[in-house]
Amino acid sequence: MARITLYTTQLCGYCRAAKQLLMSKGLDFDEISVDWDPELREQMTNRAGGQRTVPQIFINERHVGGYQDLATLDREGKLEQWLSAEPEMTSVFAEDSAKA
Q: Which amino acid is at 94?
A: A
Structural domain including 60 reads 4-99
Q: Distance between CA atoms of 96 and 100, rounded to whole angstroms? A: 7
How many CB atoms neighbour CB 3 within 10 A? 14
68 contacts: CB under 8 Å, gap ≥ 6 = 14
Q: What domain count does the chain have?
A: 1
Residue 33: CATH number of its domain: 3.40.30.10
Distances (CA, A) of 40 to 31, 32, 66: 12, 8, 17
Has residue 98 got a pLDDT over 50? no
Q: Mind listing the pLDDT tens digit for each residue in 20-76?
A: 999 999 999 999 999 999 999 999 999 999 999 999 999 999 999 999 999 999 999
